[in-house]
Structure 1
Amino acid sequence: MEFSAFFKGLTISSLSAVLALASFGPQQAQGQKQPDTAKMPWMNKALSPDQRADMVLSQMTLDEKIQMVHGTGWGVLRAGDPIAPGSNFGAGYMLGIERLGIPGINMADSAVGIRMAAIQSRYATLLPSTLGAAASWDPDAGFLYGSVIGREARAQGFNMSIGGGLDITREPRNGRNFEYAGEDPVLAGVMTGELARGVKSEHVMSDIKHYALNDQETGRTVVNVLLDKRSMRESDLLAFEIAIGIAKPSAVMCSYNLVDGDHACENDYLLNQVLKKDWGFKGFVVSDWSATHSTVKAALNGLDQDMPGDDNYFSDPLKKAVEDGQVPAARLDNMVHRILRSMFDAGVIDNPPVRSVVDPFRGRDDAQHIAEESIVLLKNSGDILPLKADPSTSIAIIGSHADVGVVSGGGSAQVDAPGGNVIDPKPGPSPWGQTIYFPSSPLRYIRAKSPQSNVQYIDGKDNTAAARLAKSSSLAIVFVTQPMREGVDAPTLSLPDNQDALVEAVAAANPNTIVVLETGGPVTMPWAQQVKGIVEMWYPGIGGAQALSNILFGDVNPSGKLAVTFAKSDAQLPHPTVPGLEAKVKTTGDDQHHEVAPFDLKYTAGAAVGYKWFEETHKQPLFPFGFGLSYTTFAYSSLTVDDATRTAHFTVKNTGQREGTEIAQLYVALPPAAKEHFKRLAGWQRVELAPGESKTVSLTLNPLYLSIFDTAKDAWQLLPGDYKVMAGASSSDTPLNATLHVQP
């Protein structure tokens, strides 16, 4: 795909910035002469990662071991902190052991692309939000997503990615939902697992975070989450179990919050009993930044590395605890072994990063492909879409800086825009808390699709002026945004800045109104019945405008389906207001943290997250989980289930006039003995169909997805009985039913 169109859309300053950021001189990550490793037996690639780690460990001094289990401070992320030799100006850095040929670990924040690139005049691709990518329901897209991050991390000298967000959408107003993969543990686990696997495929260490139950930003450092163990294992922890099984990530990052009275980073149940014992996780547990609260307790209860390390819990205090016998020497060895093993396993020692020019063309093409699979068509009344390139058509483009760019998510996930924020161009790192727009102009690409049409833009700040332009146009496309970022939850599901009134004014002036959503999560739409088209494009990344225009004009048939439920109102949620929001005391520093008094948060919904909650409480959402329209239609038939193999077979037919991809979904309701009153997602398949074509879908049911967690036995149990198997287009549209019989 040509990238020249992207460059044409940039200002001179932005274009210069892209070229400058994409090219930089080579630097050595360690900055010192590397030792001759030829005589080091652990450099034998034929040995297993465990063998190699043990051989290195046997040669290490106590001080060297201590050096590996903590970072070197915030560095460039906090003014005035020293930069350790070999640091790559990333989120964190662990000093290597040069005499043993062990490099340092340079960590990059990389939820949706490599953060802080501009500080060293680098360029990084902004990918669509991971919530958007989850809406593709495409594991291959998840793998591609991770490989882009890994590829660009290597090019910039990083050997570890800090991404892989996997906190399910218990709180739809969570400011970081755009970094996660939705409300269902199976879909989220598979997509995030593939992402982390993609990172590792580029010889970059991967992590999965934030473990666990860090499902809101409000009070995140003080909230004590209370949830029974069965519900925990069948929801939030199930997502991690699935992802870790797929990716075998290098690390798992423990979260800020408390769980059942203990901080997550010193929680024996989470770290030792579940993660390391039950799941057999062989990587290391790294703390979220400043989420460590002790030395002995944290070390004994499963934390392996303290980041960023400036709190000194795992430096001299840990050394003294080992010398005094409070922390066994064997435990310290295990901590170091896990880190070394992960380094060998990912290949960062055998294949260290070599700085090179980040390819912005390739990155944009990959981002656009993911965005095209992620965009969800929510409403298409009267087949207003796809649009036709008609010289007699006039189109009003309204709102949300659609003339110049697309919005991105903020916080530690913020990727630097080339040339700076396109609505306020200032080269350099993105300021914390500022809403950043990237140079991908919907207006320009819509004009390019219909060059002879009269396409005009207005900013939408004046509802009357916007309605006037809409009334004089053949159709109106209103862009609305929900900027979200780390550290702050949205107070409600409503669009901010009175954008609902803008949509209502435009829709009243022109019945042919289409709304394009750029959101970090679900929002309410009081105007949904007044408009003809609704398109959810999430935070679409650097190729977002191109992807959107291809969807709007039918060059790409939309196939995305929601990974989250869209409620009609906040009143439908388990918590009508964000827990702890009313207890906010003050905002401090750079606004990363909101100081609140410690409080308990009891998740009374249990495992009934998202669509399961709506089904259990008999509520009808605005748009259900798994929903998404196409420019063609599909029909389902002939569901059968083989009890012996636990495989479901059914047929999907394209009953429309154009080629399309259907995401065929399989759900299961457990026998009455399970005592749950909702269906579970048990599988899906993307099915590409020509007009009139039929295909048989075969999905083998994973016993884990059908099991309950028996807390008395501390084990998964597949109950005997009859399981209702359902197939269809969404969680609320399952026309096919069959029965799976599980024998005692």
Structure 2
Amino acid sequence: MKLMGILLASTVLVSASPVLAQATARASAQPTQAAAARPWANTALSPDERARLAVAAMTLDEQIQLLRTQSGFGLLSLGVPLPASIPENMRKETPPGALGSAGYVAGVDRLGIPAQQMSDASLGVANLGGILRRGDEATALPASLALASTFNTELAREAGRVVGAEAFAKGFNIQLAGGVNLAREPRNGRNFEYAGEDPLLSGLIIGETIAGIQDKHVVSTIKHYALNNQETGRFVHDARIEEGALRESDLLAFEIANARGRPGSVMCAYNKINGVYACEHPFLLNDVLRNEWSYAGWVMSDWGAVHSMKTALEAGLDQESPQDENYFAGLKAAVESGEISADRVALSAHRILRSLFAVGAIDNVAVKGGAIDQAANAAVAEQVALQGIVLLKNEGGLLPLAATAKKIVVIGGFADRGVLAGGGGSSQVMPYGGSFRDGRGREGISALLAPVYGLSSPLKALQALRPDADIQFDDGSDPARAAALARAADVAIVFATRPEEEGMDAENLLFPFGQDDLIAAVAGANPRTVAVLESGNPTAMPWLSKVGAVLQAWYPGQRGGEAIAKLLTGEVSPSGRLPMTFPASVEQLPRPEIPGFDPTQRTPFGLGKPVAPFGFDMQEGSDVGYRWFERTGAKPLFAFGHGLTYTSFRYANARFNGGADLSATVTLTNTGARAGTEVAQLYAAPPGRTHRLVGWARVELQPGESRTVTVSADPRLLASWYTAASGWRRAGGEYQVYIGRAADAPEGRANVRLNATSQIARTVAGDQ
């Protein structure tokens, strides 16, 4: 959602087919006995045919009903005084039949069409602040950045199935999941919901997550389409970018995720793109999404993102989500006056029903109270954490903790109680087993929206795995006291937490509440210091040279404490790789200052003064993240794809094949004494361009084991968009390619000649 939108105050009309026109004509008649036969219930028919039959049986009012979402909860139901900042659409009771969530559309009972019950998602079935559904908990998955760090598409599918299964058991049939916005801004408050800076990685990981959700008869959205890359001024800013650069970056991520996951709905963004609001953008919604990608589902707005009715419908919007100024309230009058075609209404109703039929949400009605296997789902969450936590530094083999480390001090980050269950905002999950909040510096509604910690204590998990050691805890409130404890310990482990929040970007890359000073003080007292970082973005590390090891834990989810302890002790070897570049400073970024940023407006959900409209150029174009660093020659703190393990790997006999396709073959050998996982990454640069990730292989090897693997390039990443020709082409000539451990760590290079072609496959093996 988009609860953010709740909490804050030119193409021609797409023509419907003759079949839909006929359906509209029939819809004007009163319901008949024949309609009750429900021929659309025939599962042998295609989703399109079933939707056609259902729409034909609907009245105009029933069709319009599908196009207008109302808030799925009302704050009057809480029975508490509401601050003046709460808008009118929330000053009401929860609608009858609604479960208490982001959105609700009443069903058409006489036709057997269930209500649309929409819940926020991404890191699990969300329940912001625990106020939407009192006492309702769910499995808290690690941050999407952690999922992307696994480079494991099969695990992404399983994570999606966890979300889908729990949503279905709770009565929800639509999950507002599938965040695929590229991380152009590493201070963006919602990056923890997304999958990093690379279009191939983001598209495949989020596409599989979407597919997993929909495996469980629950529609997933894909969002926020497009260029919703910062929270600052997200309602008013205009992101300006050249068409080819947009297609080769953010739109490519959406294209890949759409092909892989086939989401039932697309959620258009708040912001403008090249001067036009995303939810009334004919280029995005009609030209690209519908015509080029053959998208058959429906487009819903983000909450409060609609600025018109006629213009939005003409551009391709199908469903208006809750907002105070409800433009679609006048839809019936517009149809009756001839301003809007009745066929257009039927078309949107068709698209919505088609997606519900396609995922089985109508044949398998979600009912609140279903069984949930909490233990199995927590195990999946733990696997994501174990594979997604990234070992950034390990000087002198400080990790895993040696058996001789008998006196260990754990410091800060609420490690005695739990771990961050996610960032703040609409994706907030209330984890099974209870939770607590860090309300420092917050009051009123700000405190209510404070990020949540789950009760998975790293301290307790570490004590359980190392009963032979004396493990003490200090809360870190006094750096001098913590340093004194560290000085007398064999190893010091400092936890630092940095919650990101929807509606506001971070002012800088530092940890709040003096935690950087705490780490520096502890490491100054004991160089055998491990820093464990719970953050939803890259962070600065002014103390990096002083510490022995750094573990990037992201938001580690339901069993994050257990996962961190297993990695620290070596029960499991780290295997995560960074899905985002960690800059050495903000001066290295395309925009050292966030456009429109005002530190006085850093309030949850942007509940500050209105922001004046502004625009900015994305001068990096398609060179997002690691490609920008290659283009500028800047050296990052840690590169995209970086990640250490507790063993070592040798690359040998790298061979590259060109011509019609690109692939690389390499022999990987585990040269260490422990089992481990290597992620061999293949990068390619078209003539005159920067390198792009075009494929990877995630390989698990036992000590001494060798395996020869072949990584094939995704053809979509080898192509470039030629605006003059309005099409994709792969330039012929020499491509600079390498395979290696990270974007800055090649192990084998070559110049490979590829044939020119204008016939670029826009789907590949594995796409749905």
- Please give the TM-score of this superposition, normalised by the length of structure 1: 0.91
Report Cα offsets for 1:99-150 as digits up to 9, x if no partner.
Answer: 1111111001112011128524322011000011100010011111111100
Gap runs ≥5 in structure 2: 1-32, 76-88, 440-444, 757-768
d(CA) in 1 for partners of 2:137, 2:513: 32
Cross-structure match for 2:78 = none
Residue from 151, 174, 193 that aligns with 1:137 = 151
Deviation at 1:424, TM superposition (A): 6.9
d(CA) in 1 for partners of 2:583, 2:626: 10
Which stretch of the first structure deviates more once superposed, 588-597 or 623-632? 588-597
1:658 partner letter: R
Cross-structure match for 2:47 = 49
d(CA) in 1 for partners of 2:397, 2:533: 19
2:634 partner letter: K
1:634 partner letter: F
d(CA) in 2 for partners of 1:418, 1:592: 29
d(CA) in 2 for partners of 1:116, 1:729: 39
2:277 equivalent to 1:263: yes
SS at match of 1:88: coil
d(CA) in 2 for partners of 1:344, 1:279: 20
2:699 partner letter: V
Residue from 215, 222, 228 that aligns with 1:201 = 215
d(CA) in 1 for partners of 2:198, 2:448: 30
Cross-structure match for 1:245 = 259
Retained in 1: the 8 A contact 2:425–2:605?
no
d(CA) in 1 for partners of 2:259, 2:451: 36
Retained in 1: the 8 A contact 2:661–2:754?
no
Cross-structure match for 2:533 = 517
Report Cα offsets for 1:378-433 as digits up to 9, x if no partner.
Answer: 1111101111344x6101101111110101311001112457543579xxx99643
Deviation at 1:741, TM superposition (A): 2.0
Deviation at 1:556, TM superposition (A): 0.7
Residues 358 and 68 (structure 1), Cα distance of their counterparts in 2 relative to 1, 3 Å cut = same
Deviation at 1:461, TM superposition (A): 1.1
Retained in 1: the 8 A contact 2:207–2:258?
yes
Deviation at 1:636, TM superposition (A): 1.2
d(CA) in 1 for partners of 2:383, 2:355: 31
2:564 equivalent to 1:548: yes
Cross-structure match for 1:333 = 346
Cross-structure match for 1:399 = 412
Cross-structure match for 2:117 = 106
Cross-structure match for 2:625 = 610
Residues 75 and 381 (structure 1), Cα distance of their counterparts in 2 relative to 1, 3 Å cut = same
Cross-structure match for 1:125 = 139
Which stretch of the first structure deviates more once superposed, 146-155 or 347-356? 347-356
SS at match of 1:729: strand
Residues 592 and 342 (structure 1), Cα distance of their counterparts in 2 relative to 1, 3 Å cut = farther
Residue from 427, 430, 433 that aligns with 1:416 = 430
Residues 393 and 586 (structure 1), Cα distance of their counterparts in 2 relative to 1, 3 Å cut = closer
2:650 equivalent to 1:635: yes
Deviation at 1:326, TM superposition (A): 2.4
Deviation at 1:722, TM superposition (A): 1.3
d(CA) in 1 for partners of 2:90, 2:320: 20
Retained in 2: the 8 A contact 1:492–1:577?
no
Residue from 212, 215, 229 that aligns with 2:243 = 229
1:54 partner letter: R
Deviation at 1:55, TM superposition (A): 0.6
Residue from 717, 724, 736 that aligns with 1:712 = 724
d(CA) in 2 for partners of 1:162, 1:527: 39
Retained in 2: the 8 A contact 1:634–1:656?
yes
SS at match of 1:195: helix
Which stretch of the first structure deviates more once superposed, 259-268 or 593-602? 593-602
Q: What RMSD, in angstroms, separates the aligned Cα atoms of the two structures? A: 2.0
Report Cα offsets for 1:676-712 as digits up to 9, x if no partner.
Answer: 2x20000001001111111111122222110101111
Residue from 726, 751, 754 that aligns with 1:742 = 754
Retained in 2: the 8 A contact 1:487–1:594?
no
Deviation at 1:653, TM superposition (A): 1.3
Residues 159 and 52 (structure 1), Cα distance of their counterparts in 2 relative to 1, 3 Å cut = same
Which stretch of the first structure deviates more once superposed, 393-402 or 326-335? 326-335
Which stretch of the first structure deviates more once superposed, 211-220 or 631-640? 631-640
d(CA) in 1 for partners of 2:604, 2:65: 30
Which stretch of the first structure deviates more once superposed, 430-439 or 109-118? 430-439
Retained in 2: the 8 A contact 1:134–1:191?
yes
2:215 equivalent to 1:217: no
Residue from 244, 261, 268 that aligns with 1:254 = 268
SS at match of 2:247: helix
2:111 partner letter: L
Gap runs ≥5 in structure 1: 1-34
Retained in 2: the 8 A contact 1:218–1:594?
no
d(CA) in 1 for partners of 2:609, 2:54: 43
Correspondence list, 1:266-277, <5 A: 266-277=280-291
Residues 700 and 668 (structure 1), Cα distance of their counterparts in 2 relative to 1, 3 Å cut = same
d(CA) in 1 for partners of 2:288, 2:162: 31
Residue from 91, 102, 107 that aligns with 1:91 = 102
Residues 587 and 216 (structure 1), Cα distance of their counterparts in 2 relative to 1, 3 Å cut = closer
Deviation at 1:322, TM superposition (A): 2.1
d(CA) in 2 for partners of 1:403, 1:372: 20
d(CA) in 2 for partners of 1:471, 1:585: 40
Deviation at 1:500, TM superposition (A): 1.3
Retained in 1: the 8 A contact 2:141–2:159?
yes
Deviation at 1:325, TM superposition (A): 2.6
- Please give the TM-score of this superposition, normalised by the length of structure 2: 0.88
d(CA) in 2 for partners of 1:496, 1:542: 23
Residues 586 and 325 (structure 1), Cα distance of their counterparts in 2 relative to 1, 3 Å cut = same
Cross-structure match for 2:391 = 377
Retained in 1: the 8 A contact 2:438–2:450?
no
Cross-structure match for 1:318 = 331
Retained in 2: the 8 A contact 1:219–1:594?
no
Q: State the identity as a percent.
A: 45
2:454 equivalent to 1:442: no
2:583 equivalent to 1:571: no
Retained in 2: the 8 A contact 1:220–1:257?
yes
d(CA) in 1 for partners of 2:263, 2:56: 24
d(CA) in 1 for partners of 2:481, 2:214: 51
